[in-house]
Chain A
Amino acid sequence: MGIIRTLHLMHAFIQKDEAGNELKRSQALTDINISIDEGSFVAILGRNGSGKTTLARHLNALMLPTQGTVWVDGRDTSDPDAEEQIRRTAGMVFQNPDNQLVADVVEEDVAFGPENLGIPAPDIEKRIEESLQAAGMTAWRYSSPSRLSGGQKQRVAIAGMLAMQPRCLIMDEPTSMLDPQGVQSVMDAIQSLNRDMGITILLITHDPLEAMRAERVIVMDRGHIAMDASPREVFSRPAELEKLHILLPQTMQLADLLRQGGMPLPAGIMEAGELAEAAAALLSDRGGTQ
């Protein structure tokens, strides 16, 4: 059984006039059924407006379904009494690093979650140390967030979530406002949390390169799940991805073009090294037969 499950999850944004009559209805999520295994690293890939953020916000009770059910660790998100437990289980990191830090000192910000949970001070101290360590931000413990770079701020936000000791982290496009260096540092931090601490990661992204790092990719389109498979499988269907307005990473584009050009490359090539090897093998075969 997965740590996060949804069954026939639907969400509609409904605009009402003053009398409560429905003016406009836009269906953001339609019949979403997913189950996320504990300890896995799952990417939710989709372009703007595909419903991926709306989905993420359902997964820790920041939004409630119009229809259907979401369970986090067996608890129904629509049960108000379960809210705190759900948010402790599934933490959320947002897109804009500036708009999710509360305090003026890094350690105070990391302490914010545990303080809300009513954890006694010596334990908070320990949690701050551990989570800053895990996010690689120990050196900045007493700095002000306003003096940090975007990537560093985002890692403070991750540490702030870790301090609540969640089993699952939902990341809503955590790198989309960062420079390449910041992206790298945040992605590395995410991957090590998954690998070394066994935290379930749900990475919401519009970047196929980031999605490739996951072990499972769920592609969203117009509120539906369009694809749900391993990255190798998802990215070996370029025609389908193109219809969903998702660009293949460069290496795969090149492999795809080579295949179209008549080179019998095997399917599922993801990295530059793999492509080079496969191409070299083909060329040397050809050289051998001539």
Chain B
Amino acid sequence: MRDMIIGQYYPGSSLIHRLDPRVKLLGTLLYLITVFMIHGPLSFAIVTAFLIAVTAVSHVPVKLMLKSLRGIMVILILTFIFSLFLTQGEVLVKMGPLHITKEGLSSGLYMLMRLSWLVIGASLMTLTTTPGRLTQGLESGLGFLTKFHVPVHETAMMMSIALRFIPILIEEETRIIQAQQSRGADFHTGNALQRVKKLTPILVPMFVSTIRRADELALAMDARCYRGGESRTSLHPLSFSRLDRQAWILLGIYTAAVVICFIFRV
């Protein structure tokens, strides 16, 4: 669990790593939209080529990217099975009351591809961007929302503190569970309801200690002159480089190409 969250970032200095996080965020968003615009072999080829090209440039091992699929394996399999058996159309194979149709097979494969492409693309962003840069990119990219009284800086600060505290809280949870088990608590038997009830002696101390931590952290932030986002500077200020401008142009061309394919359904 610990390594799943912290080890997400794959350190490197490829072109993709060096891109401004705002470019990567918007790029990922555009990519996700284009995946849903695939309606024929040509658009599929363009999107796939784009995904392969970006992966190659990022120097992230393909194995690591495929690992991100493991988390949604169950969803992938279920989606495939459901579309395989539940789509009406030309029957290919009959198995008792169930039958596989040609349309089912194609839509199943299509869903499989679509979900995998989505997850691989999104994980490429988190693999090449540190959580800190990501929140910074979100804060700066959504900064205009401050005008509409959306607490953008505060939300970004909350996200980065959450990231910082995830491993600490996991450690604490383990410790509390072990402490309860050493006093005879049993978390593994009983039906679902009973087991949920047994979580109380874990959750209550977790809440108490989290609130205490929050209190202390607030004091420590006070002592370091934190006063919200105003007049704050940044160690690594974001600025668009030539590389980013080139990436914008490529993204524009790519999106336009997929949109045109979408219009002509190819």
Q: Which positions in A face B, CB cutoff 8 Å?
A: 57, 60, 62, 84, 87-88, 91-92, 94, 96, 98-105, 107-108, 111-121, 124-125, 128, 144-146, 160-161, 164
Contacts and interface: CB of A to CB of B under 8 A. Distances in A.
Given A116-B225, A161-B224, A98 B232 contact: no
B236 A98 contact: no
A256 to B, nearest CB: 38
Given A100-B217, A146-B6, A118 B160 contact: no
29 contacts: A57-B219, A62-B222, A87-B225, A91-B223, A92-B220, A94-B216, A96-B213, A99-B216, A99-B217, A99-B220, A101-B164, A102-B161, A102-B221, A104-B163, A108-B235, A111-B235, A113-B224, A113-B225, A115-B233, A115-B234, A116-B225, A117-B225, A119-B233, A121-B233, A121-B235, A146-B6, A146-B164, A160-B224, A164-B225
Nearest to B216: A99
Contacts of A60: 223
Contacts of B237: 121
B234 A121 contact: yes
Given A118-B231, A119-B233, A125-B235, A105 B132 contact: yes
A118 B219 contact: no
Interface residues of B, number: 29
Interface in B179-232: 213, 216-217, 219-227, 231-232
Contacts of A99: 213, 216-217, 220
B167 interface: yes
Q: Which of A57, A115, A120 has the most CB of B within 10 A?
A: A115
A102 B235 CA distance: 14
Contacts of A100: 216-217, 220
A87 B216 CA distance: 16
Nearest to A109: B164
Given A94-B216, A144-B6, A103 B236 contact: no
A104 B217 contact: no
B141 interface: no
Contacts of A124: 233, 235
Interface string B102-143: 000000000000000000000000000011100000000000
Contacts of A112: 221, 224, 226
A115 B132 contact: no
Contacts of B132: 103-105, 108
Q: Which of B163, B222, B235 has the most CB of A within 10 A?
A: B235
A107 B226 CA distance: 17
Interface pairs A-B: 9 shortest CB-CB: A100-B220, A111-B235, A99-B216, A146-B167, A92-B223, A113-B224, A116-B225, A118-B231, A104-B164
B168 interface: yes
